[in-house]
Amino acid sequence: MFLHASRSLEYRSPYGAQPVDTEVTIRFDAASDSKDVTLCYTYGLYGFSYHEEPMRAVETEDISRSTTRYEAGIMLPHEPGLVFYWFRLRILCEKEIETEDGTDTVAAYETRYYVMEGDTEDGSGKLYHEPPRVSANEDKYPYAWQITTYAKGFKTPDHMKGALIYQIFPDRFARDSEFTVKRMMSASDREERVYHEDWYEDVDIKGKPSTGYLACDFFGGSLKGIEEHLDYIKSLGIDIIYLNPIFEARSSHRYDTADYLNVDPMLGGNEAFASFKDACDANGIKIILDGVFSHTGADSRYFNKFGRYEGVGAFESYEKGIVSPYRSWYNFYKNEDGYTGYDSWWGFPDLPNVDENNLSYRQFIFGEGGVVDTWMMRGASGLRLDVSDELPDSFIRQMRDTIKEKTNGEGMLVGEVWEDASNKCSYGSYRDFMFGNTHDSVMGYTFRTTMLEYLQGYVSAKVFNARMEGFRERYPSESYYCIMNLLSSHDVPRVYTMMSRPEDSGDKEIQQKIKVPDIDAARCADLCKMGYAIQIAYPGAPCVYYGDEVLMDGYKDPFNRRTYPWGRVSREGDEHLDFVRKISKLRIENQVLRTGHYKTLLTTEDAIVMERYFDAQGLDAFGNSKMPSAGARRVVLVVNRSSDGIYLSLKEDTSDISCSVIDNPSVGYSSDFVISGVSLGPMQVGVAPNSLLFIIYQ
């Protein structure tokens, strides 16, 4: 009797996130005896304005006589931001009243709210006795519907849409052919560093006795080592290499930047980057660098706490009262004992915070000859911003503007955001992350979380689809097709390890021993195949963390940062590598898997069937014609997580495909995971337990 489904054009048109000033029609079905049906909405970003719009009854033949359809139209605000909406109405309720004879039941009108319900595949809602809470500082329940309103002309680089990305932790991917331990140590020898002679040795978790663990162990991976393996990387179908930090730093993770303008000597220096960039160009591969701008290293030429760099750093400047060009970047104070203290990232003294609003710092980052200018001129195709939510929105806006200016609009800015970036709150405010002003897109940690919940069996395929459709509805397409959809990264356990559902532990010695049990290896490998298949088939830019393609094991940092096992890949790893190469080839050969429209055809408890397609005019999701030489015009993926097989009937209906489950199949299971050259028309397919199937239409 009551219905609004935001993902149906019948109830909200146009679909999803929209540019500013767009006119949106919103419809709501309510019981015919309802009164005072009202659209309630609030909009803004850093501050919100609340409004109400009476809804008018409209005629429709598609609903029962006991239901009335209401409609209201709004023009989205002129400024990018968020629009939240819900419905208020008065409905006829029965309630008990006290009478002289006792109690009696009477009908009376009471106010109710129709609010969004979580995990519905169509974006529908429910009646509730309270209105939604949408303030940045409130617990967001009950939920409101959201329309993300982004800047007109928002455009992301086409080369990023649907690109296949390979993430590399530079010290751990490959040594170059001229490597020697002596050369590694002489490049930048420091007393706290641990040097591994054996590439296959496990990562260090103790550090030197004099310092303790500082993430300062090195294996000698280098940019030249990566360059010498570009043929391998290219065989995975890779378009973009995303490098964890390469700037000079004390630690092996290099998130404690010591020199923004120079490549770490341990990685080969600036000359190695120039050679690497040229080799990537020759292979048609672009490079995204990791930029850390919320803090520097204490051991850096800017802070220079340990006096290892020439010149006066900020620390010495504060302690001795002498001039340093970097003093104003940091916030110092004297603690209770009279010693020098300073703001640092999450309290780590090795990572002093910088003031991103300091104009001297901004000039260094954004000015002529500064950090962005230098690396865009050296050939980087973009930056990934570490801890974006800890940077001011104005800083990120200036970062994007500068990158675009230096690259004729082709540079990419990706943010590290772990939550839904379209409505991310931090520091007491919604953030300007998904409105066409700051990031082009973000890392897909929401993709990873939702995918793992499905593959591990914690949620059904229906819930998985509902959550993914929610993100797709809230993100601008320009961003959504560029999201770095990942299953592993340097900050989270590897996907193969996670498929065995390990128990969490804060003890590194216990974490070091966590690996997939032999009894679970086949099942975990199958689940990784399903995960990678969805990465390839789903909108976004799939990102493979080095080694996942050969089923590397590894729990939390630093065990997810082990060395790539060159020459020691297991049989199961080799099989998975072959699978990854074959599936990646589908994305190379079929443009529809990069920029085609998306539709979920079917979900069951365990299975999901998804489709990528060009429309009837041969256009992709951005109105571009890709049909003439772009491979298939339609690709369907079936993923079956169940221990039981599934049989499906696929039928053509006015150029669209419908899908249903068959109870009495006349076919067996497909013998491969790809069926190519299929013509549109009725067909039946069987998908084995714990398996997947791509159907490639002509």
Q: What is the pLDDT of residues 264-289, one digit of tens each?
A: 999 999 999 999 999 999 999 999 99
DSSP 540-600: SEEEEETTGGGT----STTGGGPPP-TT---HHHHHHHHHHHHHHHHHHH-THHHH-EEEE
Structural domain includes residue 7: no
426/474 same-domain check:
yes
Round to whole Å and give the CA distance between 120 and 376. Answer: 43
Sign of the dihedral through C-alpha 475, 480, 486, 490:
negative
> Which residues, including other chains, have CB under 8 Å from residue 529's CB and lie 6 or more apart?
576, 579, 673, 692
Q: Which residue has the tokens 């995960």?
A: 531
The residue out of 125, 150, 175 marking a domain boundary is 150
**Is 132 among the domain residues?**
yes
For residue 106, the tally of other CB atoms under 10 A from its CB is 10
Q: How far apart (Å, rounded) are the C-alpha atoms in residues 425 and 432?
A: 9
pLDDT score for 504: 86
Q: Tokens representing 196?
A: 């591994």
Rg (CA), the chain: 28
| Residue 181 belongs to domain with CATH number | 3.20.20.80
The structure's pTM equals 0.95
Classify 329 in phi/psi space as left (phi over 0), alpha (psi -120 to 50) or beta.
alpha
CA torsion angle 256 260 264 269 (round to 10): 170
| Residues of the chain where predicted confidence (pLDDT) is lower than 50 | none
CA-based nearest residue to 413, from 372, 367, 359, 353: 372
Q: Is residue 244 domain-shared with residue 364, that is, in the same domain?
A: yes
Domain annotation covers residue 272: yes
Look up tokens 């980087």; give the residue.
380
Domain count for the chain, please give it. Answer: 4
Amino acid residing at 460: S
- Quick one: CA dihedral 521, 526, 532, 538, positive or negative? negative
Residue 17 lies in a domain: yes
- φ/ψ of residue 130, rounded to 5: -130, 155
Q: What per-residue confidence (pLDDT) applies to 625?
A: 85
Q: Where in the sequence is the domain holding 28, given as residue range(s)?
A: 12-150
Question: Does any domain span residue 141?
Answer: yes
Q: Decide if 581 contacts 529 (C-beta within 8 A).
A: no
Can you tell me the distance from the alpha carbon of 213 to that of 205, in angstroms, rounded to the nearest whole number?
6
| Contacts of 178 by beta carbon, 8 Å cutoff, 6+ apart | 224
**CA atoms of 402 and 373, how far apart (whole Å):** 8
221 and 303 within one domain: no
Query: What does the alpha-carbon distance between residue 668 and residue 671 come to, in Å, rounded to a whole number?
Result: 9
For 338: left if phi > 0, alpha if psi spans -120 to 50, otherwise beta; the answer is left
Report how far residue 251's alpha carbon sits from residue 170's, in angstroms, rounded to the nearest whole number.
12
Tally Cβ neighbours within 10 Å of residue 512: 16
User: In terms of Cα–Cα distance, which of 467, 405, 478 is closest to 435?
Assistant: 478
Cα distance between residue 161 and residue 446, in whole Å: 18
pLDDT at 187: 86
The single-letter DSSP state of residue 518 is G
Instruction: Residue 638: give its domain's CATH number.
Output: 2.60.40.1180
For residue 192, how far is the Cα from the chain centroid?
35
Residues 614 and 649 placed together within one structural domain of the fold:
yes
Residue 17: CB partners within 8 Å, gap ≥ 6?
147, 148, 149, 150, 422, 434, 473, 474, 475, 476, 477
Residues forming beta bridges with residue 607, ordered by sequence position: 640
Look at phi and psi of residue 302 and say left if phi exceeds 0, alpha if psi is from -120 to 50, else beta.
alpha
Residue with tokens 């195949």: 529
Each residue of 213-235: pLDDT tens digit? Answer: 999 999 999 999 999 999 999 99
Exposure of 50 by Cβ count < 10 A (0-12 exposed, 13-18 middle, 19+ buried)? exposed
Q: How remote is the C-alpha of 573 from its chain's centroid?
A: 25
Are residues 84 and 96 located together in one domain of the fold? yes
Residue 155 within any structural domain of the chain? no
Does 38 share its domain with 122?
yes
In a domain, 345, yes or no: yes
Give the phi and the psi of residue 274 in degrees, each rounded to 5. Answer: -60, -45
Identify whether 641 is part of a domain: yes
CA angle 449, 455, 461 (to 5 degrees): 90
**Could you tell me if 452 and 548 lie in one domain?**
yes
Nearest to 118 by CA among 607, 605, 466, 422: 466
Asked if 371 and 284 sit in the same domain, the reply is yes
